């Protein structure tokens, strides 16, 4: 039976992470309903060192799937080189972890999840991988030009803003293409690929734009990725909840209907939509069991993260004026 792997970075502390365990319960509830554990070779949960024991306890609720909890610090010691609060963006930290998936995953293809994702239709590994290529959701690059431009600057390639690119999480990446990106970044900058990305924390590179632009330069996209064909579901629902106001008008019935498109959807975590509201909206379409969990809210940590964001914004403005990329 064909299988695919998955990677899911998890934090439970920070500005909008306090309900991530509950969100993971929703995700795994949807996976139980719309697929089977046998779809997955391995599901890797990558967790900060100080949260590992706690997440291992919660992960017992998902043990029907081949879940493995990984201590981030055992593989990402390089994060410690960037010790100033503003130098480590949680956003970039998670993206580097996703690109590092070949360290833990053996299958050629793997799904990238965030806790705020959930399935909306039945699928198997064969649904996601057709004729050896990953089902890929397209997005015009001009929809988010700053991400493509920042990544193109790092790779010294044209951003190709008139073309299409890879859509956001959840998505399917190739192990081979991730390793190609690692190799080319290290060849270009003469240091660990993660150090290069961390050093450029003040620009808006993203894991997917880097991955796509590098594969495009290498002429490998058509070998590993395919856009949906007529009659084939896309990877994403036509609409997800990206802003708090979207939830009021978001039609769950529409996206779970048999004739609707898209295998996954998102209720974005940074909208701060209460978890019980999300559960109420989704529970008519698949059974959801949310385990009791401790919500971690630290006012000092929130203040520190907001301060860091302000510092980075100032640095981004300076970098824009200079037009520079850190070597």
Q: Could you tell me the domains of the chain?
A: 4-322 (3.90.550)
How far apart CA 250 and CA 304 sit, in angstroms, is 33
* Helices 20-34/52-59 angle, 10° precision: 30
Tens-digit pLDDT string for the chain (327 aa): 689 999 999 999 987 899 999 999 999 999 999 999 999 999 999 999 999 999 999 999 999 999 999 999 999 999 988 866 656 678 889 999 999 999 999 999 999 999 999 999 999 999 999 999 999 999 999 999 999 999 999 999 999 999 999 989 999 999 999 999 999 999 999 999 999 999 998 899 999 999 999 999 999 999 999 999 888 999 999 889 998 888 888 888 988 999 999 999 999 998 889 999 999 999 999 999 999 999 987 655 555 555 555 554 555 566 566 666 776
CB neighbour burial string for 204-233, b if at least 16 within 10 angstroms, e if fewer: bbbbbbbbbbbbbbeeebeebbbebeeeeb
pTM of the shown model? 0.90
Q: Scanning the structure block, which residue is given the tokens 């299988």?
A: 3
Residue count (the chain): 327
CB neighbour burial string for 143-177, b if at least 16 within 10 angstroms, e if fewer: ebeebbbbbbbbbeeebeeeebbbbbbbbbbbbeb
How far apart CA 216 and CA 220 sit, in angstroms, is 6
């Amino acid at each position: 039976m064909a299988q695919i792997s998955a990677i899911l970075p998890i934090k439970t502390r920070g500005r909008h992470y306090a309900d991530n365990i509950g969100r993971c319960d929703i995700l795994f509830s949807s996976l139980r309903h719309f697929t089977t554990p046998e779809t997955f070779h391995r599901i890797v949960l990558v967790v900060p060192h100080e949260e590992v024991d706690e997440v291992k306890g919660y992960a017992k609720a998902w043990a029907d799937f081949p879940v493995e909890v990984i201590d981030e610090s055992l593989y990402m010691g390089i994060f410690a080189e960037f010790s100033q609060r503003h130098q480590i963006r949680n956003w970039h930290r998670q993206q580097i972890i996703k690109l590092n998936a070949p360290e833990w995953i053996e299958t050629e293809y793997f799904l990238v999840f965030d806790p705020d994702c959930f399935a909306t239709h039945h699928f198997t590994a064969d649904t996601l991988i057709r004729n050896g290529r990953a089902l890929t959701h397209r997005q015009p690059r001009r929809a988010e030009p700053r991400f493509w431009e920042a990544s193109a600057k790092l790779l010294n390639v044209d951003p190709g803003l008139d073309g299409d690119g890879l859509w956001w999480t959840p998505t399917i990446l190739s192990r081979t293409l991730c390793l190609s990106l690692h190799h080319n970044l290290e060849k270009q900058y003469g240091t660990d690929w993660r150090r290069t990305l961390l050093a450029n924390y003040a620009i808006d590179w993203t894991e997917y734009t880097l991955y796509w632009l590098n594969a495009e330069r290498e002429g490998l996209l058509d070998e590993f990725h395919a856009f949906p064909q007529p009659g084939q579901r896309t990877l994403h629902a036509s609409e997800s909840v990206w802003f708090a106001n979207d939830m009021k008008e978001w039609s769950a019935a529409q996206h779970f209907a048999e004739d609707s498109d898209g295998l996954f959807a998102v209720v974005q975590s940074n909208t701060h939509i209460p978890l019980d509201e999300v559960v109420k909206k989704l529970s008519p379409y698949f059974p959801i069991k949310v385990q009791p969990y401790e919500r971690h809210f630290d006012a000092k940590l929130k203040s520190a993260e907001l301060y860091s964001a302000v510092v980075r914004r100032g640095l981004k403005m300076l970098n824009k004026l200079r037009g520079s990329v850190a070597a």
